[in-house]
Amino acid sequence: MKQALMVFVGGGFGSVARYFLGKWLNNIENYFPVGTLLANVLGSLLMGFLIGYLSKSSNITETQSLLLATGFCGGFTTFSTFAYENQLFLKNGDYVSFLSYTLGTLILGFLAVFLGLYFSKLL
């Protein structure tokens, strides 16, 4: 039960952080979801770092890992919002934004995970 509570708390903080990031960066007039993109890339970076750090250290407990990786990163990143925003691009015929957002999210997300793993090795 304690593990589920940690995922719940971490997910709540991650979701609220994503909400504020999106509110701050997503521009309604010239709509490109920079906040969602940044949340997914930063979440991938943090996930890569945490996984790399956890694999070589015993300083973080399983409970802390659930709070940070599963909870916070899971709540902070969002595939459903990414999919919805892409659906809006397609609905509006904005294929350039659709392709740039999709490819940008995938490429930057993977690079961020690898960069996070790299940074964890520097500690």
pTM metric for this prediction? 0.91
Q: Provide the pLDDT for residue 9.
A: 97
Which among 22, 17, 26 is positioned nearest to 46, based on CA atoms? 17
Each residue's pLDDT, cut to its tens digit, for the chain (123 residues) gives: 899 999 999 999 999 999 999 999 987 776 899 999 999 999 999 999 999 998 888 788 889 999 999 999 999 999 999 999 999 999 999 999 999 999 999 999 999 999 999 999 998
Q: Provide the pLDDT for residue 22.
A: 92
Q: What span, in angstroms and rounded, lies between the C-alpha atoms of 7 and 116?
A: 21
Q: Provide the pLDDT for residue 61.
A: 86
Q: What span, in angstroms and rounded, lies between the C-alpha atoms of 46 and 73?
A: 7
Q: Provide the pLDDT for residue 123.
A: 85
CB 25 within 8 A of CB 38: yes
What are the sequence ranges of the domains in the chain? 2-122
What does 58-119 look like in DSSP terms, one character per residue? Answer: SSS-HHHHIIIIIIIIHHHS-HHHHHHHHHHHHHTT-HHHHHHHHHHHHHHHHHHHHHHHHH
Q: Provide the pLDDT for residue 86.
A: 96
**Angle subtended by helix axes 34-56 and 79-91, to nearest 10:** 150
